[in-house]
Amino acid sequence: TNQSLCENNLRILNLLSEEVFSFGKTHMVSKKVAKLKDSLNSQFSTIYELCNFIFKSHVAQPGSVKTSLLTTTLSTLANFLEWIPLGYIFETDLIQTLMIHFWDPLEYRIECAKCLNEIACLHEGVQQYQPQLVQCFQGVVEKIQQLPENTPQACASLPGPQRVFWEVFHN
């Protein structure tokens, strides 16, 4: 598959998700929003398969997937996590994949942290997934404890990607 085409499609899906779920509440007729939400929900399995394929390709052959495609995939996923069926989050290896393969590399850490934050902010229906949610929280705490202690003043002397991460993380 053409990675640039995949990346552009994910950007379009990301914009569509933002339009429907973030801005749709105030700028669209509620029937139209409901119809678009239903359509996205019914098509989500295909969207998830695409994201999962991209992640698995990267895991199987590191370096085979463009960094920009992985970042776009993580960003799109972060926007989708607030409305997708919870089974895609808690009944798959999604959280484990994020923690193991996308937290440590600095180029993905910000988007990975956004995904994990969206998971932590879920409220409706998560009671049955409490053990997975607790495990996710513990994993994030462990990852944060492994980070070097940098004060905001020390961030200025860090290399580019590390500095950007800490600036975003502190703000």
List pLDDT tens digits, range 76-104: 999 999 888 899 999 999 999 999 999 99
Find the helix packing angle between 67-80 and 3-17, rounded to 10°: 20
> Which tokens go with 126?
């998560």
- Global confidence as pTM: 0.83
- Rg, Å, the chain Cα set: 17
Within 13 Å of residue 131, how many CA atoms lie on the same side as its CB?
Answer: 1
Residues 130-168 have pLDDT tens digits of 999 999 999 999 998 887 776 556 666 666 766 676 666
What H or E segment, with its residue span, contains residue 68?
helix 67-80
User: 93 CB contacts (<8 Å, ≥6 apart)?
Assistant: none
